[in-house]
Homo-oligomer: A and B are copies of this chain.
Amino acid sequence: MAGHPAGNMKPSLIEALAQDSGGQSLLSHFTECKYHKRHLLFIPYHKENLIFLVKQGRLRVYLALRGKEISLAILGPGDVYSTHTRAHVEALEDTTILTCPIDTFLIHANQQNTLIAALMGSVGRLMTGAISTIENLYFNCADKRVAVYFYEQAASLGQEVKEGIYVKIGLTVDNIAKIVGSSRQTVSTLLSSMEKAGIIKKLNRGEYIVRDMRELFLLANSCSE
């Protein structure tokens, strides 16, 4: 199969789906789309949350910000990916993909096996984390990465309370430093200055309130390179 890594004998997703009747019924919910070489298929936060399978051709998945870009993956026949990420997806060659809304996919996959939705959820969280790490390392300056991290945690997992957004980071400063790829000292200094500026407030070990999400966002995006 063209574009597939040599020596990879595992069945591809499309082959696997075609092999049994359950898979065939799942495949019937997918729509075939063709794109020419260099076409930009998806941009970050594409409005539809789709899963797609590559039938033919090759695609490049990449992150782009402030004039820089970095590739995450080159997808070939049989590969699977989703649109609802922070990545751009472009065709490196004339390409055919099969797309399906992720909710439709999970409902129909779930009818056959509850394992699939759970696997996809867990692996999706891992991929999202890895993409955040890459973005942070490549696009953000070391002394602001912790602001980016707090903003993302608050935006995705925070709970609104009277004083702002409560977020349980649940990690030591040392562990936060190792997540954002920065030193303990740098993280500690920025946390103190964010607390002095009234942007965040530390409650207990690993628990914070973000008092001003707008200021935190501006700080996170203030890198000048």
Q: Which residues of A contact B (CB under 8 A)?
A: 3, 5-8, 10-13, 15-17, 19-20, 22-23, 26, 58, 60, 62, 69-74, 78-81, 92, 109, 112-123, 125-127, 129-131, 133-134, 137-138, 156-157, 159, 170-171, 175, 178-179, 181
Contacts and interface: CB of A to CB of B under 8 A. Distances in A.
B80 A119 contact: yes
14 contacts: A11-B118, A12-B118, A13-B118, A16-B115, A20-B113, A71-B178, A71-B179, A72-B130, A73-B129, A73-B130, A79-B125, A80-B122, A112-B115, A123-B127
Chain A binding site: helix, strand, loop or mixed by DSSP? helix
A115 B157 contact: no
Given A73-B126, A137-B138, A138-B137, A116 B116 contact: yes
Nearest to A134: B133
Given A5-B157, A62-B178, A71-B179, A81 B16 contact: no
Nearest to A68: B181
Nearest to A5: B157
B114 A112 contact: no
A23 B114 contact: yes
A121 B15 CA distance: 13
